[in-house]
Amino acid sequence: MEKKRLTHRSMVFVLAGGRGSRLKELTDRRVKPAVYFGGKTRIIDFALSNALNSGIRKMAVATQYKAHSLIRHLQRGWSFFRAERNEFLDILPASQRSNTESWYKGTADAVTQNIDIVDSYGVEYVIILAGDHIYKMDYELMLRQHVESGADVTVGCLTVPREEATAFGVMATDESGRITSFLEKPADPPATTATLEALRNSVGHARVLCVLEPRSNTMRLGVHAATLAQALNAADEVYLYADPALGWDPGKALASMGIYVFDWKFLRNLLQEDAQNAESTHDFGHDLIPLIVKNGKAIAHRFDESCVRADDAPVYWKDVGTIDAFWESNIDLTSFTPDLDLWDKSWPIWTYSESVPPAKFIHDERDRRGMAISSMISGGCIISGTEVRNSCLFTNVHSNSYAVLDHAVVLPNVVINRSARLRNVVIDSGVIIPEGLVVGEDPTEDGRWFNVTDRGITLITQSMLDQRARDL
């Protein structure tokens, strides 16, 4: 009953207005949360499915940039909520309720301009979500921690490599999980740290590597227990760089996932105050969360406590905001045992399912055999004499004889004509690949026409092919 009471008194507010410019031409026609992922889903389906599977059936999605594809998807795939059961998915246009001169100024402003709408929902708790990440998470566990801790805000977090942490909010916590500092997208992210008390409790650990004393700015390497004890007693603040088994790692940083739980009354007052602050950027990460850390109570929720996965599976969370990351995450699904389990019936990823026939493979001749090895092939695909390896083909992809697809991510409604050879590519939806096109074998030649990343992944769009045809 407790779980029901909490989730029935809660809603999710999904921020889905950002373009996602790092995805280059993939977001020229659609907002990032509407980008296809995993054969048939959209990126936003993961956040919404997590909410639904967690027992939350009140959702609002704030849209802005080129939202038509997203809105159409939500209308087709998420229209099963019943108002008579007090459940809904509300699509919120950028209606500029409090400002007629600009779009949303920041993530917090997107909620501020919809305060009256959230008021009408009559909820006690609001979970703010980014709609552009790939993961599986039980929000109810985070919600329960928020309520039991009496926090002003609870922030979802996970450890990431320090070199990647520049794209996140980075935090430090004390023994109780209270956030003691929060830096939004720092140029030099601080590593995970340990408090003095935690360090003193681990003096006898044999694998301590070094201790840094900020007061004296000295680093002690390979210290023994006795020396460490002396350092701890003398220091005002000590950072431990140790074996990851301790939970502290100089190569890791504790990063915000962009997931926040608030009491609505508290958040409402905070948003109204922020709206009057001319110096604020009206952003959760830049403004509101650091303010609460300084003046209130902010609690960290560790993602590994609520990540939905098999007992022996790793924690999985991906920001697919670059072409490389997008390609890699889709290709990962073709591995023997993917870290992201899309086949888990207990935690399904809901989406719009187009009515299409099953995938079809035809021709069985030498060099003209329709086959797929270690690949994901969606419904409506026709693999006509094409060799497909380690690839992810979305709905209604048609490939023709003598073609080769190798580590290819092919979005819906693509036609691949005869004798094309495509390796390490992302192909946008609706593209018609000309006969004999070769991509992925000569980066210099590919770069004349297409977007090639430093890692060697090539993005192909129809406009690129049209320009190539005009220039040849």
Strand partners, 15: 62, 130
- Cα distance between residue 190 and residue 182, in whole Å: 10
Helices marked H in 183-223:
196-201
Picking from 282, 283, 285, the residue whose alpha carbon sits closest to that of residue 258 is 285
Please state, in angstroms and rounded to a whole number, the distance separating the CA atoms of residues 157 and 303: 6
Q: Do the beta carbons of residue 127 and residue 143 sit within 8 Å?
A: yes
CA 303, distance to chain mean position in Å, is 13
Strands 415-416, 432-433: pairing is parallel
pLDDT score recorded for residue 164: 86
Rounded-to-integer distance, Cα 371 and Cα 42, Å: 26
- Kindly list the distances between the CA atom of residue 348 and the CA atoms of 41, 70, 133, 223, 309, in Å, as whole numbers in the listed order: 11, 20, 16, 49, 12
Residues ≥6 apart with Cβ < 8 Å to 289 = 153, 155, 169, 182, 184, 256, 260, 298
Question: In whole angstroms, how far apart are CA 130 and each of 20, 51, 94?
Answer: 12, 12, 16
d(CA 240, CA 14): 37
Q: For residues 427 and 448, is the Cβ–Cβ distance under 8 A? A: no
DSSP-assigned beta bridge partners for residue 181:
172
Query: DSSP assignment, residue 245?
Result: G
Measured CA to CA, the distance from residue 352 to residue 330 in angstroms comes to 18
Q: Can you list the domains of the chain with their CATH numbers?
A: 2-175+252-329 (3.90.550.10), 196-246 (no CATH), 354-471 (2.160.10.10)
As given in the structure block, the two tokens for residue 358 are: 């099953």
Strands 404-410 and 451-452: unpaired
Q: How far apart are CA 126 and CA 9, in angstroms?
A: 9
Residue 331 confidence (pLDDT): 98
Q: At 422, which helix (H) or strand (E)?
A: strand 421-427
Dihedral, CA atoms, 357, 79, 103, 109, nearest 10 degrees? -130
CB of 384 closer than 8 Å to CB of 364: no
Q: What distance separates the 2 farthest-apart alpha carbons in the chain?
A: 77
User: How would you list the strands of the sheet with 218-221, edge to edge?
Assistant: 218-221, 208-213, 239-242
The pLDDT of residue 56 is 96
Q: In the prediction, which pLDDT does 367 show?
A: 87
pLDDT at 216: 39
pLDDT (0 to 100) of residue 112: 94
* pLDDT tens track, the chain, 472 positions: 454 579 999 999 999 988 889 899 999 999 999 999 999 999 999 999 999 999 999 999 999 899 999 999 999 999 999 989 989 999 998 865 655 556 788 899 999 999 999 999 999 999 999 999 999 999 999 999 999 999 999 999 999 988 888 889 999 888 789 999 999 988 888 766 544 445 445 444 433 434 444 433 333 333 344 454 555 555 444 444 443 434 455 678 899 999 999 999 999 999 999 999 999 999 999 999 999 999 999 999 999 999 999 988 999 999 999 999 999 999 999 999 999 999 999 999 999 988 999 999 999 998 899 999 999 999 999 999 999 999 999 999 999 999 999 999 999 999 999 999 999 999 999 999 999 999 999 999 999 999 999 999 999 999 999 999 999 8
CA distances from 423 to 98, 273, 327, 451 (A): 49, 53, 12, 14
Pairing relation of β-strands 317-318 and 179-184? unpaired
| Beta-sheet pairing, 41-42 with 376-377 | unpaired
